């Protein structure tokens, strides 16, 4: 597909009162509505009105985030929406393939083909909630995740597409010869199968991945159909885009089979000055002491006595190779400090805006220029939109930015299909059950 006819893909990352960590402290914010389904539904309806491809719920198994469990929430949203894709994070390290295969198949059936799975390996802090003494080492987690996804795909494929016939005349509901055991026996999992629900409408829900480490990029090239990634500059995004796309041929894949969506976290207003005022208000509400504590923990340095307005020194910092968690985000922070000579205050404020994703403050027209530049210059196939303030930030994005992108011929004016795969331009995968004999 030529650059001229490529179309942007846009996902809305749902996140409470907004992606700025201080958004909940704004006078107009309503943090008490984070568990209110109707409030979330209104936000999702805004994204669907804007013809966005999907909404995304991040998830984990630790902390005090006070948010709804994603399968429950997305199943409810599926019944009240028609077109928009519904993507949930589910980790592989602290789950079993059968459970995950069944839940995503159910969500895909409920939504009539709009489900997506953001595949992560999980965070270190979750280990003690699952009876484990420690989090598995980074490369081993990805090796385990690779087999996990393989098993899940086999389970989805354990039912042939035409296994369910519900033939009243013959009295046959399910053709038994078209439902198969998978008999998987691997290094990490032993699963007989079959799954106890028919193959999902999309074949597989859309497979999404968010890691940008070396292991993460290789895993994405093999498995993912969409990547959520974080970059602070177009140059970094271009390098990542070229790197990951170049890995696809070894797995028999083409560039069009993988959509790369960097995060973009905007503060928008009618004028740049008004947008900057909103940014300054948010910064005033940031808990600086808590931010310093988190940074100290991440970097392995005590920053409590570091002056806020002096450039940071990285002497004694924990390097990325020593991290058994989110390596790519750790490296991003180190690069920010090294490349931009940031003060502690500047770094705190930069990370407060979206935890390391690209932040933007300005007008809708200016943001459309940035999006177009990245899209047309090998940095992105679209964006993971992360408003720093919800719902107002998504409202202005849908009402002002999307029409401008449509005017430039960069974004759809109607949904192309009924499923998330169709809207992303991804083909429905064929059933691979005949390759089961090649399993480990």
Separation between Cα atoms, residue 413 and residue 183, nearest integer Å: 46
In a domain, 103, yes or no: yes
Consult the annotation and say whether 46 binds a ligand. Answer: no
Residue holding tokens 């009876």?
A: 131
pLDDT band for position 435 (cuts 50, 70, 90):
low
In a domain, 321, yes or no: no
Write out pLDDT tens, residues 122-153.
Answer: 877 788 888 887 888 878 898 999 999 999 99
Identify the three-state secondary structure at position 411: coil
In a domain, 210, yes or no: yes
Consult the annotation and say whether 36 binds a ligand. Answer: no
In a domain, 390, yes or no: yes
pLDDT band for position 306 (cuts 50, 70, 90):
confident
Range of weakest confidence among 79-83, 182-186, 188-192, 337-341: 337-341
Consult the annotation and say whether 328 binds a ligand. Answer: no
pLDDT band for position 160 (cuts 50, 70, 90):
very high
184 close to 191: Cβ distance less than 8 angstroms: yes
pLDDT band for position 4 (cuts 50, 70, 90):
low
| Domain interval for residue 260 | 9-272+357-438
Q: Considering the entire predicted model, what is its pTM?
A: 0.91
- Give the helix ranges, DSSP H, for 79-213: 97-110, 138-156
Separation between Cα atoms, residue 265 and residue 353, nearest integer Å: 7
More confident site: 433 or 366? 366
φ, ψ of residue 5 in degrees (nearest 5): -105, 0
Range of weakest confidence among 197-201, 251-255, 289-293, 402-406: 289-293
Consult the annotation and say whether 128 binds a ligand. Answer: no
Q: What is the number of domains present in the chain?
A: 1
DSSP class per residue in 320-381: GGG-SS-HHHHHHHHHHHHHH--BHHHHHHHHHTTTTSEEEEE-HHHHHHHHHHHHHTTS-S
In a domain, 372, yes or no: yes
Range of weakest confidence among 136-145, 159-168, 236-245, 257-266: 136-145
CATH number of residue 229's parent domain: 3.20.20.30
In a domain, 282, yes or no: no
Query: Which pLDDT score is estimated for 413?
Result: 98
Mean of the per-residue pLDDT values for the chain? 92
Write out pLDDT tens, residues 68-106.
Answer: 999 999 999 999 999 999 999 999 999 999 999 999 999
Q: Rg for the chain (alpha carbons), in Å?
A: 22
Residue 171 has pLDDT above 90, yes or no: yes
In a domain, 139, yes or no: yes
Separation between Cα atoms, residue 374 and residue 231, nearest integer Å: 11
Residue 221 has pLDDT above 90, yes or no: yes
Consult the annotation and say whether 213 binds a ligand. Answer: yes
Q: Residue 430 contacts by C-beta under 8 Å, 6 or more apart in sequence?
A: 203
Consult the annotation and say whether 59 binds a ligand. Answer: yes
Residue 327 has pLDDT above 70, yes or no: no
In a domain, 251, yes or no: yes
């Amino acid at each position: 597909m030529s650059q001229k006819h490529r179309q942007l893909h846009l996902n809305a990352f749902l996140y409470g009162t907004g992606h700025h960590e201080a958004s909940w402290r704004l006078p107009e914010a309503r943090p008490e509505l984070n568990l209110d389904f109707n409030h979330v539904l209104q936000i999702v309806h805004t994204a669907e009105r804007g013809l966005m491809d999907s909404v995304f719920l991040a998830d984990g198994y630790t902390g005090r985030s006070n948010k709804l469990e994603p399968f429950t929430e997305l199943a409810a949203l599926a019944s009240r929406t028609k077109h928009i894709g519904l993507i949930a994070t589910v980790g592989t390290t602290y789950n079993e393939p059968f459970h995950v295969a069944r839940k995503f198949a159910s969500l895909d059936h409920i939504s009539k083909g709009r489900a997506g799975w953001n595949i992560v390996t999980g965070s270190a802090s979750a280990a003690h909630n699952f009876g484990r003494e420690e989090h598995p080492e980074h490369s081993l987690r990805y090796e385990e995740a690779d087999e996990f996804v393989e098993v899940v795909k086999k389970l989805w494929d354990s039912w042939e597409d035409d296994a369910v016939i519900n033939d009243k005349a013959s009295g046959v509901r399910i053709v038994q010869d078209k439902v198969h055991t998978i008999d998987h026996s691997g290094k990490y999992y032993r699963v007989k199968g079959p799954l106890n629900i028919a193959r999902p409408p999309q074949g597989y829900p859309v497979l999404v991945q968010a890691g940008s480490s070396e292991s993460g990029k290789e895993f994405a090239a093999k498995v993912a159909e969409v990547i959520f990634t974080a970059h602070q500059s177009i140059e970094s995004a271009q390098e990542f885009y070229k790197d990951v796309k170049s890995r696809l041929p070894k797995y028999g894949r083409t560039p069009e089979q993988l959509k790369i969506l960097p995060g973009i976290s905007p503060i928008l207003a009618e004028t740049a000055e008004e947008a900057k005022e909103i940014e300054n208000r948010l910064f005033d509400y940031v808990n600086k002491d808590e931010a310093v504590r988190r940074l100290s923990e991440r970097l392995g340095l005590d920053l409590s006595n570091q002056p806020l307005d002096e450039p940071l020194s990285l002497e004694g910092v924990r390097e990325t190779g020593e991290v058994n968690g989110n390596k790519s985000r750790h490296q991003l922070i180190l690069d920010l400090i090294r490349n931009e000579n940031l003060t502690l205050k500047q770094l705190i404020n930069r990370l407060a805006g979206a935890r390391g994703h690209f932040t933007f403050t300005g007008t809708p027209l200016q943001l459309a220029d940035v999006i177009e530049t990245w899209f047309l210059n090998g940095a992105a196939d679209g964006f993971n939109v992360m408003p720093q303030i919800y719902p107002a930030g998504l409202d202005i994005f849908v009402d002002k930015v999307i029409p401008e992108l449509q005017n430039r011929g960069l974004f759809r004016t109607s949904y192309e299909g009924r499923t998330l795969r169709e809207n992303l331009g991804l083909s429905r995968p064929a059933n691979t059950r005949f390759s089961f004999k090649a399993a480990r």
